[in-house]
Structure 1
């Protein structure tokens, strides 16, 4: 299956977007570890319909005009990982949940560490909002885009007027 790629210039950096003909496969970070989200070879195609739709929605999200994404999704992972990533989609804009909350939401209350691992491999950053997951005490914890970016995204969603910082 072919994968297509483009770059979206966002206030939190240049985000590589990857799509298949089925849907959005990945939203990566500028300095993403190559083994965090494993993908087959991609080819540049910014006019791919899924990527074009994603660009419009990301622009609206960062402009404060969109609170959720409406894109076909095609994430690659295990059944457990996909259940975690699906649960992320249920976290309301501007709110947070703990890893324990996500574990309970998927019916695996003792799988908190596994939820954390799956969250760390979330290929759909921002769309499946892993940045909205925090520690049980509310502390910001690991994030593939970096804690500064996580803080920025949460402040953006909570209307705290973060200034854009182009990377």
Structure 2
């Protein structure tokens, strides 16, 4: 169950909170039912996401749950240093954080529970757009990634 489901230009976004933290942000298809925020943190998260959809340079200031392995958190921290309109390849991000494995970086990107807030869409394959949210191939998730990159002024096919 989500604490909120809001409209997005590519479908919907589901928000889960727990206690005083955001626990998960999920991309959902257009067919998902909207759900008004049921707590102050869900409303705050929804408002910041809407602000990002209006202005790609808008930042986020949300309490995120301490999830993930130490390596995943290192990757996610590295992702946060990539500004709107910029991209890094999985390998480039890996080198920045001291990892030799582009594949491990890609897996950590796919496991990111806070997309948009931790903008994993800014990490791409050396040969193109790459996967998204553990989904390869064309389809809903890759189209979300394309929309987010285009929204930020970057076009990668």
TM-score (norm 1): 0.77
Does residue 128 (structure 1) correspond to residue 126 (structure 2)? The answer is no
Q: Note the aligned Cα RMSD (angstroms).
A: 2.2
Write 1 or 2 for the structure with the bigger share of helix. 2
Once residues 69 and 104 of structure 2 are traced to their aligned partners in structure 1, the CA distance between those partners, rounded to angstroms, is: 12
Residue 65 to residue 156, structure 1, CA distance change in 2 (3 Å) = closer
Q: Which residue of 2 aligns with 1:39?
A: none
Q: SS of 1:60's equivalent?
A: helix
Measured after TM superposition, the shift of residue 47 of structure 1 is 3.5
SS at match of 2:16: strand
Q: Distance in 2 between matches of 1:106 and 1:65?
A: 25
Shift of the 79–65 alpha-carbon distance from structure 1 to 2, 3 Å rule, reads closer
Cα gap change, 1:4 to 1:15, in 2 (>3 Å) = closer
Q: Does 1:86 align with 2:77?
A: yes
- Corresponding position of 2:137: none
Q: 41, 50, 56: which one pairs with 2:41?
A: 50
Alignment coverage as a number of residue pairs: 144
Contact 1:16/1:28 (8 A) holds in 2: yes
Taking the aligned partners of 1:72 and 1:11, their CA distance within structure 2 comes to 25
Q: Which runs of 4+ in 1 moved over 2 A?
A: none
Deviation at 1:4, TM superposition (A): 6.2
- 2:142 paired with 1:147: yes
The superposition leaves residues 106-127 of structure 1 with CA deviations (integer Å, 9 ceiling, x where unpaired) of 222x121111111111111111
Deviation of the 1:146 alpha carbon? 1.5
Indicate conservation of the 8 Å contact 2:109/2:120, yes or no: yes
* TM-score normalized with structure 2 length: 0.81
Secondary structure of the 2:75 match is helix
Partner of 2:108: 118
